[in-house]
Amino acid sequence: MGGLSIISFLGFTLLVAAIAWASSRKVNEGSSDGYFLGGRSLGPVVIAGSLLLTNLSTEQIVGLNGQAYNEGILVMVWETLAAIAMVVTAIWLLPRYLKGGISTVPQYLEERYDTTTKTLVSALFLSGYVVVLLPIVLYSGAVAFTAMFEIPAMLGISKTASIWLCVWSIGIIGSIYAVFGGLKAVAVSDTINAVGLLIGGLMIPVFGLMAIGDGSMMDGLSKLTLENPEKFDAIGSSTSSVPFATIFTGMMLVQLFYWGTNQAIIQRALGARSLEDGQKGLLLASFIKILGPLLVVLPGIIAFQMFGGTLESGDEAYPTLVREVLPAPLLGFFAAVIFGAILSSFNSALNSSVTLFGLDIYKERFNKDADEKTVVKAGKIFGIILAILAMIIAPFIANAPDGLFGYLQEVNGCYSIPILTIIVVGFLTKYVPAKGAKIGLASGVILYCISQFLLQPYFKNGAEAAAIAEGITDPAKLEAIKKMAYPHFLHVMAILFVLNSLIMLAIGKISPRETPFVQEYTEQVAIEPWKYVRQVGIAICAIVVFTYIYFS
């Protein structure tokens, strides 16, 4: 980056920080609600912006575009089906959360089951964040910055040193936002960066299409679709990364967990001023999410057209395309936007980790008599420790397999489906007892780990060995045979969701609660729903269905 680019990068980044600091000054962050939920003062636009940017980071921008480079538009399923999950969350889950006045999802589980269930779920969330999510966000962000802006050449350091430098820079700045700023600072900075990401992100496909269309965006789009028709088929085969059948099994479960029960995401809606504001924010975000493939799928296909499949890895597609098509004066602004997107996912997960530890573990298990300031202080100390651990672990992910986004989703299954199961069963039944939730959690985690880390390698390696014995040596054919040897991880998630639900229902029949569970209204916020929530929700779902029909 040249001097002008560096100035624009620093200018935009500092502007966001200043606005976030100013906006959070009026919030009483010595209280739990003030620090963890922004004083329950978030409006629809802030909720939508924070939701989108918390979700959209380099593991998606780089990872999904990398998959699109290899497979085409079929990977848009990760974006478009998210819109339906957000509609379900707005109509069904959020009213129940806000009625109980909860600050965390595990708090609902304490009301529905017991304190031990809450602690177990909080521990599962935290283990997933520190071992998987936080390090992968840091590492993927470091890789993007290193490749996109050629930091090793600019600073005269090795690629490994650049990764370490970026990881710790992102981690330290993100920690300051999340640990010392609270949710209000995180949400406001997310919203500003979301606007920048939409503007900057849309510039990449526009300039890319103009580049392949000799200055005409429409000519570029026409050329792209005519010369690569196979890249615009939304129906994935049985050997693709996302087979079409998974849309009707585990894909919707993953989406519902992420948007409806994942603390790092739903915390934005829990901080709403009212149920109406929360529903508007979720639905606004879901509508914008339908446009997500323009940012995280189309650039990958453009990169395939431009570079002809010559890149060593699909994950190189997006940063290489940016270097190729973006005018030099805009690099600094785009660098700041990408930096904001990386920070967002990191600081949002870290802020949620601080919330979970402070409210659900420290106060519950270590200091029941702690006042709110003590809880917030303990959460901040834990957040600093967690951030340091994540920054230490992140650079060692260099040996992880290609396609970090898919890898992240598969590993997350260890805790996502068990947690979703006990929440759904808890909402739909009144007599399933606490021990049913504990057994459901344990069986979900154990069975998924056995399936994916013991049985899957056994069957895949066996199928590969048998194919080689028959004289098959083509790598592509061998990879296809391995994929067919064991069910896709999304199918496994659906199977285990049903199995664990049946286990919990059986326990509820054999040993039910003595009294039915009835959720009480705490009157923390107004829970009058938005009068158009169902009509808008149905319209958004119809747009998603039409999109699939059009591209099939």
d(CA 480, CA 74): 17
Top mean pLDDT of 54-58, 104-108, 214-218 is at 214-218
> For residue 266, what pLDDT band results from cuts at 50, 70 and 90?
confident
Between 197 and 534, the more confident residue is 534
Token digits of residue 205: 């496909």
Q: What is the pLDDT of residue 282?
A: 94
Residue 481 domain-assigned? no
pLDDT tens readout for residues 187-240: 666 666 667 777 878 889 999 999 999 999 999 999 999 999 989 988 888 788
Residue 230 domain-assigned? yes
Between 534 and 335, the more confident residue is 534
Residue 64 pLDDT more than 90?
Answer: no
Query: Which residues are bridge partners to 368 per DSSP?
Result: none
Q: What is the pLDDT of residue 458?
A: 92
Residue 329 pLDDT more than 90?
Answer: no
d(CA 498, CA 401): 30
Residue 526 domain-assigned? no
Q: What is the pLDDT of residue 524?
A: 72
Q: What is the pLDDT of residue 10?
A: 67
Helix (H), strand (E) counts: the chain: 27, 0
532 DSSP assignment:
T
> For residue 34, what pLDDT band results from cuts at 50, 70 and 90?
very low
Structural contact between residues 500 and 421, judged by C-beta atoms closer than 8 angstroms: yes
Residue 279 domain-assigned? yes
d(CA 376, CA 19): 23
Residue 453 domain-assigned? no
**Residues in Cβ contact with 302 at an 8 Å cutoff, skipping those fewer than 6 apart:** 205, 208, 209, 212, 220, 224, 321
Top mean pLDDT of 80-89, 272-281, 384-393 is at 80-89
> For residue 537, what pLDDT band results from cuts at 50, 70 and 90?
very high
Structural contact between residues 171 and 384, judged by C-beta atoms closer than 8 angstroms: no
Q: What is the pLDDT of residue 27?
A: 47
Q: What is the pLDDT of residue 482?
A: 86
d(CA 23, CA 26): 7
Range of the domain at 365: 3-20+36-405
Residue 511 pLDDT more than 90?
Answer: yes
pLDDT tens readout for residues 399-456: 655 455 666 777 788 888 999 999 999 989 999 999 999 999 999 999 999 998 899 9
Closest by CA position to 434, among listed 508, 531, 338: 508
Q: DSSP letters of 24-68?
A: HTTS-TTSHHHHHHGGG-B-HHHHHHHHHHHH-SHHHHHHHHHHH
Per DSSP, the three-state class of 430 is coil
Between 345 and 178, the more confident residue is 345
Residue 158 pLDDT more than 60?
Answer: yes
Residue 140 domain-assigned? yes
The 3 state secondary structure assigned to 318-380 is: HHHHHHHHCCHHHHHHHHHHHHHHHHHHHHHHHHHHHHHHHHHHHHHHHCCCCCHHHHHHHHH
Per DSSP, the three-state class of 272 is strand
d(CA 219, CA 329): 25
- Check which CATH number belongs to the domain holding 218 and give it: 1.20.1730.10
Burial level of 374, CB count in 10 A (0-12/13-18/19+)? Answer: middle
d(CA 62, CA 195): 19
d(CA 287, CA 544): 10
276 sits in the region (left: phi over 0; alpha: psi -120 to 50; else beta) called alpha
CA atoms within 13 A on the CB side of 228: 25
**Residues in Cβ contact with 181 at an 8 Å cutoff, skipping those fewer than 6 apart:** 20, 21, 24, 189
401 — phi, psi (to 5°)? Answer: -65, 160
d(CA 190, CA 77): 24
Structural contact between residues 190 and 344, judged by C-beta atoms closer than 8 angstroms: yes
Structural contact between residues 63 and 404, judged by C-beta atoms closer than 8 angstroms: yes
d(CA 340, CA 331): 14
d(CA 91, CA 538): 11
d(CA 312, CA 300): 14
For the segment 277-281, the average pLDDT, to the nearest whole number, is: 92
d(CA 190, CA 54): 7
Residue 29 pLDDT more than 70?
Answer: no
d(CA 132, CA 415): 11
Amino acid at 481: I
Residue 502 domain-assigned? no
Structural contact between residues 347 and 178, judged by C-beta atoms closer than 8 angstroms: yes
d(CA 521, CA 99): 5
> For residue 36, what pLDDT band results from cuts at 50, 70 and 90?
very low
If one counts the domains in the chain, the total is: 1
d(CA 82, CA 259): 7
Residue 424 domain-assigned? no
Per DSSP, the three-state class of 111 is helix
Structural contact between residues 316 and 82, judged by C-beta atoms closer than 8 angstroms: no
> For residue 3, what pLDDT band results from cuts at 50, 70 and 90?
low
For the segment 37-56, the average pLDDT, to the nearest whole number, is: 73
